[in-house]
Amino acid sequence: MIAGAREGTLSGLRRLAAAAMARDLHAIIVPGPEVARARGLDIESAGLQIAATPRHANVLLLVGPVSRELGDAATVLYAQMMRPRAILSLGTDGTPPPLPQADVAADRSQSGLVDGVNRLRSAFSRGAFRTDVSDFDAPVLRIRIEYTCPMHPEVVQDEPGSCPKCGMTLVPRETSDTAEPHHGMGHDAPAEYTCPMHPEIVQDQPGSCPKCGMNLVPRETSDTAEPHHGMGHDAPAEYTCPMHPEIVQDQPGSCPKCGMNLVPREMQDTAEPHHGMGHDAPAEYTCPMHPEIVQDQPGSCPKCGMNLVPRETSDTAEPHHGMEHDAPAEYTCPMHPEIVQDRPGSCPKCGMNLVPREAGPADEHEHAQGHQGTGMDHGDMDFMSMVEVTKDLPRSPDGLPMDWIEVPFGPFFPGLPGGLLLTLTLDGDGIAKTRVQSLVGGSGALPAPGMGAADFVDHLGATDPLAPVGYRLLACRALEAAAGRSPDEEILRGRIAAVERERIASHLGWLALFARQIGFDRLLRRAASLQLQFLHADMKQVMALKPALQALIERLQRTPLLKSRTAGIGRTVPDPALRGPVARAAGVGDDARSRDKTCSALGFTPASREGGDALARLHVRLDEARHSLALIEAAGVIVPPAPVDIGETSGAGEAVVETPRGMARLQLTLDNGRVSDARLDTPSTHHLDLVAPLLERQELGDGLTTVASLDLSPWEVVQ
């Protein structure tokens, strides 16, 4: 029986269908195929096919411990799989909620995988169809609606409304019910309101900027902050023109002589108040940008939304109503001229203020064109509106600002490391903003103090499933440095050979992942096969695999597809923060093996390239695979790292190891043979900060290639 059975009675044709599905199992792998291969699992030889999407899978394969965040993402995958569906768990300590319990659990080994697949086939044959099927539900699957601005995706609210930055109508989007709700701008703290263009304008209430008329936007403030009133002063204010000090008003506005914004000045208690222009004449209100707009009451300009400012008028002047003429008016959207209404309001498409135009009898049916008889300059109006809406947005490489959308890539996206969540804000096909995070629990976290030496080596070795040997060696070296011990020369050489064998396997695993990202299926199959063969090969087997690896490297260095797909993409500049192949591809010759006496005695020479792009990083990894073969051959023996007996020693030690992704550093303190304190520095922690600046303004395809070329490991990110 399986939890994800399909409703129906298992009889007749359904029994035949169940038997056929049991023979044709397609799996989605969590965290990803590269993790399964790094753990020595040959998925396809065990009888499972790797599915590209959950719609083509009927097995969810969990490999190793799964964090809560990754469990939530896997729950969404499971819900998208067609019934009948099943969960096969390898080496996990129970299925993470909210997933149902695994239908089959087995050891995390190749033999355990084969046994699990065989038991899963039997479960499918017997229980693919059931009459007592219930719907699968989980909090992460429940959807709620939130509202965001197409032009400013950082503006998110729980209720519909207008963007406080540009005034556009917020559009709905779906989000998980478990996501943190947003309130207004997502803050519970008391808010002040300020102008994006004039930050000196601060008020306690929402409103419009007295200088430019833009909507004020909220900002956080502490409970103890002194409240602001209008311009943030307690003293009464008058407003004057910097160029014409004789112009004084009680309200903000613009100078009737030169059009400059009036600025506040403190008013003495004995000063006689000014009203309008200091005269008792009735006032009219006009727009500083559109002087043809004249009204009898204060308000906003129907063209640009700026606050109307008063101007003097004679008592005999004819009153104005809304516009400067009495002709009937229609209202249209500057961005969507097909929107025409008889009354002012907002555009139902983009939320912009409708602007008036005259509609004579002759052009009653010309709403879409609207070029005749309007008495308004629509070219200027459209241009100004676009500038106001898009002036704060970065331009795409083609120079055109577009609506922004936020799209997640990961944590199971083909060609990206499993467990890595890349959230991109797209401006057309260009990348405007990037957020990147690890969803595997930040396994770089070190254990609680008091762990024994042998347990500490095992724990650190399990930190990163993509490089367990390198981290075991790092723990061994740090313990030996703290205890003042050192193994004999043969063990030192054998440890180097074990790490170099892992480096070859890791670079082959990266090649397979990269090939999947760029759609190079032949390279994917060949690199994955060699990775599995190198992973646990002994000395004789490594030498037997040497010709095949060298042939693959030579073929890749002559492949024009790789050069055209990677040259000039994701270029980095030399920087001390760079590590490993990423640094050496940028011309930074920092390699911890250069300072290792054993490596030097074995004839090590570091690889180096110029250019710093994805192509250079590819060539550095290919060169390193050759150098690793030479080091293994020179060492003559492969010895997996194991801790030496340190007794109940106390002391402090530090060690570095050049892992496949770069130099890792460990500092620890021993107290009576137990680790009382430890600090770990890893290469992916540094390289994670490269992603956002490297992807800015890149096209989407090039951006994904850039991330893949960095060879990030979400497990070694210290959070």
Contacts 24+ apart (CB under 8 A), 382-388: 382/334, 382/335, 384/289, 384/303, 384/304, 385/304, 385/334, 385/335, 385/352, 386/335, 388/166, 388/304
Residue 301 belongs to some domain of the structure: no
- Does residue 689 form part of some domain? yes
Query: Residue 366: what pLDDT?
Result: 41
451: domain CATH number is 1.10.645.10
The CATH number assigned to the domain holding 104 equals 3.40.50
Residue 381 inside a domain? The answer is no
Cβ-in-10-Å burial (0-12, 13-18, 19+) of 425 comes to: middle
Residue 351 counted as domain residue: no
Query: Domain end: 97, 114, 140, which one?
Result: 140
Euclidean distance between CA atoms 394 and 378, whole angstroms? 26
- Tell me if residue 421 falls in helix, strand or coil: strand
Q: Quickly tell me which residue has 């040259």 as its tokens.
A: 567
- Number of folded domains in the chain? 2
Taking Cα atoms as reference points, which of 688, 197, 95 lies closest to residue 439? 688
Residue 641: inside a domain: yes
Residue 637 has pLDDT above 50, yes or no: yes
pLDDT at 165: 73
Contacts of 391 (CB under 8 A, 6+ apart): none
Amino acid at 93: D
Residue ending a domain, among 120, 140, 160, is 140
Q: Is the overall model pTM greater than 0.75, yes or no? A: no
User: Among 34-43, 239-248, 422-431, 476-485, where is mean pLDDT lowest?
Assistant: 239-248
Mean predicted confidence (pLDDT) in 208-220: 65
**Count of CA atoms in the C-beta half-sphere (13 A) of 41:** 32
- The rounded distance, in Å, linking the Cα atoms of 614 and 634 is 31
Contact 81/60 with Cβ under 8 angstroms? yes
**Cis bond before residue 641 (omega within 30° of 0):** no
**Helix axes 489-518 and 700-709, enclosed angle (nearest 10):** 170
Residue 588 pLDDT greater than 80, yes or no: yes
Assess whether pLDDT exceeds 90 at residue 368.
no
Lowest mean pLDDT among 254-268, 430-444, 672-686, 704-718: 254-268
pLDDT at 180 over 70: no
| Arithmetic mean of pLDDT, 475-481 | 96
CA distance 572 to 497: 31
Burial of 304 (0-12, 13-18, 19+ CB in 10 A): buried
Parallel/antiparallel/unpaired status of strands 26-30 and 59-63: parallel
- For CA atoms 34, 39, 44, 50, give the dihedral sign: negative
CA distance linking residue 116 with residue 322, whole number of Å: 77
Burial class (CB in 10 A: 0-12, 13-18, 19+), 363: middle
Domain assignment present for 482: yes
Which of 140, 159, 185 is the endpoint of a domain? Answer: 140
pLDDT of 177 reads: 67
Q: CA 657, CA 471: separation in Å to the nearest integer?
A: 8
Provide long-range contacts, Cβ within 8 A and 24+ apart, for 210-215.
210/252, 210/253, 210/261, 210/307, 211/252, 211/261, 212/261, 212/306, 213/300, 213/301, 213/304, 213/305, 213/306, 213/307, 214/305, 215/162, 215/164, 215/165, 215/167
Answer whether residue 447 is part of any domain: yes
Q: Is residue 594 part of a domain?
A: yes
End-to-end alpha carbon distance in the chain = 41
- Domain enclosing residue 129, as ranges: 6-140
Higher pLDDT, 347 or 421: 421
Torsion of CA 554, 557, 559, 562, to 10 degrees: 140
Write down the mean pLDDT value for the chain. 82
